[in-house]
Amino acid sequence: MIKYFLIRQPHSIPKIILWPAAVEYKPVLSGLPIGDLAKLLSNLPAFRQRQIHKWISSLAGSFDEMTNLPISLRRELKENFSLESGYVSSGQQDADGTVKLGITLNDGLVIEGVILSDMEGRKTACISTQAGCPLGCIFCKTGKLGFRRNLTSLEISDQFLKLKRKDRDISHVVVMGMGEPLLNLDELRKSLDYLMESGGINISKRRITISTSGIEKGILELAEKGPYVRLALSLTTARSELREKLMPSSRENPLPLVKKALLKYQEKTQRRITLEMVLMGGINTFPADAEAAADFAGGLDSLINLIPWNPVAGSEYEGRPLKAPSPKEIREFTSVLENLGLKVTQRYGKGLGISGACGQLGIL
């Protein structure tokens, strides 16, 4: 059974704004590291700045909840600042516990964030970095939307706060929502700095994963400047010709260069890299795909994560509708990979009932 819930929609924020540059918004306080917050609130004593930062990190939903601040200060904050960036405009909960929120941004675009639960009961926030996506992977709904814009660091980190307010047991973050994270790395880095900030949200690097389609330049920049979080590559297939058809961005980011970048990142971090393979029935589930994946994984400390394709209406490959792999295909593919010495796990399609599974996010 799917549960639906509608969250507030302030009349002061229109759904569609044709010229967002002409609209003035109050500065947002949520998602700011203490140093940036202090600059914005430089007229206040340092202890008041710290109090406000603590309230935000403790998931206060309004200035009125900041009860150790004078009423006059709360009123002043409300008049001059916004606590949040955008607002939660809709939500759904699947029977398996997956929750999806629609978040309306200040320019009227809508992005999606998801709360996932694993077999051990661990809760993970899946957040987006772009409105839409420029990469056009044929198996992904977001890729069909095209690209609208990059999200700001506040919009990225504020997604986490909104999801955390919905479920306070969230302990992990995966940057696997809408968009390609490494094409918005500067803003992503700022948002992760906030989420990892000691004295604030304080999430460990080991509990954060960035998933990329394989942007060589971005991986190299991560290796050089960090943050040194966990990294996942959406490999899908290591047969280059097929991969270019399924994931057009791989033409500018050929796998040999991507692998060199991954090796450099792993050398810096000493962290295992996840190689994600979205399996499509009759397309990339052959022994040749398993053998190519094993060859690509050679020299990497890696884990293969198999993701049976989740249905997206209208998805085609060479004129034929995409389909999920059969259980037999998955078993045989897994067997070949394991016989080649690879570590393999399978991701199960949680959130299918609310279009919240991998590759299904896509409203603007």
Residues annotated catalytic, as ranges? 112, 358
Q: Could you count the other beta carbons within 10 Å of the beta carbon of residue 341?
A: 9
112 CB-near residues (< 8 Å, 6+ apart): 100, 101, 102, 103, 128, 177, 178, 356, 361, 362, 363
Give the Cα separation of 364 and 349 in Å (integer): 23
Q: What would you report as the CA-atom Rg of the chain, rounded to the nearest whole angstrom?
A: 21
Structure tokens at 31: 């998602």
CA distances in angstroms from 190 to 13, 157, 174, listed in the order given: 26, 9, 16
If you ran DSSP here, which 8-state letter would residue 308 be given? E
For residues 135 and 213, the answer to whether their CB atoms sit within 8 Å is yes
Burial of 250 (0-12, 13-18, 19+ CB in 10 A): buried
Give the Cα separation of 190 and 85 in Å (integer): 15
> Which residues face 55 on adjacent strands?
none
